[in-house]
Amino acid sequence: MTNKIIRSICVFTKKPGPVTIKKLDSIKVALKNNGFQIQTVRFCTPSKKIFELDKEYGGVVDCIGVGKQSFASAEKLFNEFANSKSVHFNLDLSSDVPDESYVAFLKKIIKYCPQNTFNFAFTFNNVPSSPYFPSADYERDGFSVGLQPTDLSEKCLSLKQWFNEMEKVWNEIFELFSDDPDFIGIDSSIAPIFAGKGSLINFIKRLGYSFKQSTATDIYTQITHFIKTNNPKPAGLCGLMLPCLEDFELADEYSKGNFDIQTNLFLSLQCGLGIDTYPIGVDEKNQSIIDVMRLTQKLSQKYSKPLSIRFVSDGKARIGQKTNFNNQYLKDVIVRPLIDHS
């Protein structure tokens, strides 16, 4: 099995249709012919017919993104979103002050369609053309690709070796599509998943650090500097993802109390991308959610950087109870409070 893994191929288009599917197929074939394993194909569109498209193409593509929405448009989307499987979107919180209405919207998703908390995020100063969902946002027609670069670290004994492996793969993709006018670029974000070679925390441990020790080193700044400066054609976020429940070994750190919201946001300031697949109890205090939203917004504004919040819930687990997501991409944990008030 190759470690050259494409997490997402995403076509951005104003008018999705058979041509979109044909384009996705051609990109997929080109990458497969060059030894890449493809996980998902997706498209992102500003089309208002998003739910019609979901019914038509939901079984053909893995995810459909409608991109950035205002609070008013998100409210209009809700009923159909609640019954969709493939549709993803993000609610823009770059300037509006987070208040009870935003918490109420999140809790409505948790109550009526908790599985879709995985397909939704709040975003702050988001950037377009990322192939990663739900942050993907349309700016122009074209396509971008994102990898699962943690797997490339499998035989690496140092950051430098891993960087070399990533750069080789980026250059290979760039050469493959450099003559295609539709090629927007590569989102070089670090997108870990599962345990072992797919886990960023596993690699950190293989370098000789515990996760807690690593947070006081420059490891994460070294990683984010490299992925931002050595990518031959950057597109989208190009940052460090710390998906609490998708990186199963990070989920273990959460369970030990080593990955609280404060640690998450501290690492996000090192060119990370915010709070991702972070568990939330159905009984979480509204004020705690507002406090986290407002802090994330202020940090995003102060440092002029994209951040997001993707809380996930199974719709049942309260603080102190174990989740049951029934989702292969999320590790079940005992939910902790967002903020420790002790």
Distance CA 322, CA 304 (A): 36
| Residue at 271 is within a domain | yes
Question: For 309-331, how does the pLDDT look when each residue is reduced to its tens digit (9 = 90+)?
Answer: 999 999 999 999 999 999 999 99
Q: Which residues of 51-71 are buried (b: 16+ CB within 10 A; e: fewer)?
A: bebbeebbeebebbbbbbbee
Amino acid at 104: A
Q: What band does 264 get if pLDDT is binned at 50, 70 and 90?
A: very high
Host domain of residue 42: 5-312
Which residue type does 320 have? G
pLDDT at 108 over 80: yes
Q: For residue 294, is pLDDT > 60?
A: yes
Average pLDDT of the segment spanning 170-182: 98
> How does the average pLDDT of the chain come out, rounded?
97
Rounded distance, CA 211 to CA 201, Å? 7
Q: What's the rounded Cα separation, in Å, for the pair 320 and 278?
A: 15
1 has pLDDT over 80: no
Q: Which residue type sits at 27?
A: I
Q: What is the pLDDT of residue 28?
A: 98
Maximum C-alpha span of the chain: 58
Whether residue 258 is predicted with pLDDT greater than 90 in this model: the reply is yes
As a whole-number percent, the residues of the chain with pLDDT over 70 amount to 99
| Residue 237, helix vs strand vs coil | coil
Q: Give domain status of residue 147, yes or no.
A: yes
- Two structure tokens written together for 12: 């951005």
CB 232 within 8 A of CB 311: no
Structure confidence at residue 77 (pLDDT): 95
In a domain, 157, yes or no: yes
Beta strands at 307-312 and 87-92: parallel, antiparallel or unpaired: unpaired
Joined together, the tokens standing for residue 47 give 């089309």
Q: 183-208: per-residue pLDDT in tens?
A: 999 999 999 999 999 999 999 999 99
What's the CATH code of the domain at 281?
3.20.70.20
Residue 112 maps to a domain = yes
User: pLDDT band at 340, cuts 50/70/90?
Assistant: confident
Burial class (CB in 10 A: 0-12, 13-18, 19+), 179: exposed
Count of domains observed in the chain: 1
Mean pLDDT of 109-126: 98
Which tokens sit at 57? 């193409």
Model confidence band, residue 52 (pLDDT cutoffs 50, 70, 90): very high
d(CA 98, CA 47): 27
Q: How far apart are CA 289 and CA 197, in angstroms?
A: 33
Average pLDDT over residues 83-111: 96
With respect to residue 158, please indicate whether it lies within any of the assigned structural domains: yes
Q: Tell me, what's the pLDDT at 133?
A: 97
User: What is the residue-wise DSSP string for 242-254?
Assistant: -BTTTBHHHHHHH
Strands 183-187 and 142-147: parallel
Q: Is the separation of the CB atoms in 254 and 267 below 8 Å?
A: no
For residue 252, the tally of other CB atoms under 10 A from its CB is 17
Which long-range contacts does 46-55 make (Cβ < 8 Å, 24+ apart)?
46/14, 46/138, 47/14, 47/15, 47/16, 50/77, 50/87, 51/80, 51/81, 51/84, 51/87, 53/16, 54/84, 54/85, 54/86, 54/87
**Which pLDDT band, with edges at 50, 70 and 90, does 2 fall under?**
confident
Sign of CA dihedral 303, 219, 264, 118: positive
Residue 75 lies in a domain: yes
Cα dist. 160→146, 205, 219 in Å? Answer: 21, 16, 11
